[in-house]
A and B are shown apart, each in its own frame.
Chain A
Amino acid sequence: MAMTNDPDAMGIGDTGYTIDDLSAYLDRGRTPAIAAIDTNAECQALLASMERVGAFGRELLAHDVAAQPAVDEGRIAALLATIGQEVRAGRDIPLTSPDPRATLSVTEGAVRELVRAAGDSVDGVVVGSCSLDGDVMAVGSPVRVALTISVVLNGPVRELAETVRQRVFTAVLAHTELSVEGIDVTVTDVHQPRRRLDEGSAS
């Protein structure tokens, strides 16, 4: 054994530093440097061992992850059933009704879904967030639609973003009465295509 567990000893390698001190020193990234530890062979050996088994730990976790069985579909279904009850409807967006006795509205959540679907319909694009900025509950009030997208790696970024903008505009115009002042598309990410575009059907 190259170490001592005796707290009354003179510390590891007679440095006066205990196992606790060394362990904490390791976690501080060995800064600020303590010369007595850095120049002591026994301390260095112990620090190296602690570091080595820490790396084994991460290796073990990676090994565990790889060895996990296929996801439990029952648990996924239960999870989706639970979260599905917590629909984020958001604000109610009014629609004019041909019948004055009835009030019609569409939820903000539904409009976001519409926007996502319109953006996703562009090959090589995945929509991220989507927000409706403005007083959507007041008919005729100007509203801006802001969305973030991820585009396929090496895709024509500008062209894809512009196509998204047009499709979202068309969809929102067709299905809501929002007076859309502008559509802001921000490319925040790129992604690798899982399969070649020519293998999938064009949208």
Chain B
Amino acid sequence: MSALEEAGDGILAQRAADGDATAFEVLVRRHGPYLRAFAIRLTGSIADADDAVQEALIAAWRQLSTLEDTSKVRAWMASIVARKGTDALRSRRPADELDDERPGDDDAGPERQAVASSRMDALSAVLASLPEGQRQCWVLKEMGGYTYEEIADRLDLTPATVRGKLARARVTVVKEMEAWR
């Protein structure tokens, strides 16, 4: 497998689309950590993230022949992970529920900041405190780079709702991260 490990994503994806499971395995090992990290931030749950990644990879294997630009296989796989991850969340609870509540609540902010030992920890805590819908919008936009339309499609929302949730998430994140310049 060592020669395959040297090959670029595009070549491996083409090969996997032809049915070479070994090439697919190289892609999975190469991008698995990224997909898992993204899924954990999106779902807020390691168990959900692992399930989403596994389901997404199986779906990716089946749909590889539909991927036109094989060099973008990582982004393509991430979009399938996003879909599986958001499906899992939807099946657990209705998409809009709890959105305007703030589980973390504002006065928990300073304590969180005091406890957080680094900027990364602080951001991690802020994201965890966001209402689920807002966190998903923020993660899909800022970490995933998706458009409002794509996010709306993933979350079964309208682009206008995504715009609103994203803005509210941004306000909270900006406010909570003010100390970390």
> A interface vs B, CB < 8 Å?
1, 3, 5, 18-20, 22-24, 27, 46, 49-50, 52-54, 56-61, 63-65, 67-68, 71-72, 75-76, 78-80, 82-84, 86-88, 90, 109, 112-113, 116, 120, 126-131, 148-150, 152, 188-194, 200
Contacts and interface: CB of A to CB of B under 8 A. Distances in A.
A184 to B, nearest CB: 15
B11 interface: yes
Contacts of A82: 58
Instruction: Choose among A120, A126, A191 the residue with the greatest number of B CB atoms under 10 Å from its CB.
Output: A126
A84 B5 CA distance: 20
Interface residues of B, number: 60
Given A57-B142, A75-B54, A64 B123 contact: no
Contacts of A53: 123, 142, 170, 173-174, 177
B29 interface: yes
B7 A60 contact: no
B141 to A, nearest CB: 7
A63 B34 CA distance: 10
A8 B32 CA distance: 46
Contact of B6 (A19, A20, A50, A191): A191
B115 interface: no
A127 B3 CA distance: 10
B131 to A, nearest CB: 15
Interface stretch (B19-27, B79-87, B88-96, B97-105): B19-27
8 contacts: A23-B166, A27-B166, A49-B174, A68-B36, A126-B6, A152-B6, A189-B7, A191-B11
A190 B142 CA distance: 31
Contact of A60 (B19, B32, B120, B171): B120
B171 A19 contact: yes
A64 B14 contact: no
B93 to A, nearest CB: 24
B8 A189 contact: yes
B52 interface: no
A109 B147 CA distance: 38
B77 to A, nearest CB: 12
Contacts of B119: 56
Nearest to B177: A53
Given A83-B58, A86-B62, 20 more contacts: A24-B167, A49-B178, A56-B120, A57-B142, A57-B143, A61-B34, A68-B36, A68-B37, A88-B18, A88-B19, A109-B19, A112-B18, A112-B19, A116-B20, A126-B11, A127-B11, A128-B10, A128-B70, A150-B8, A188-B11
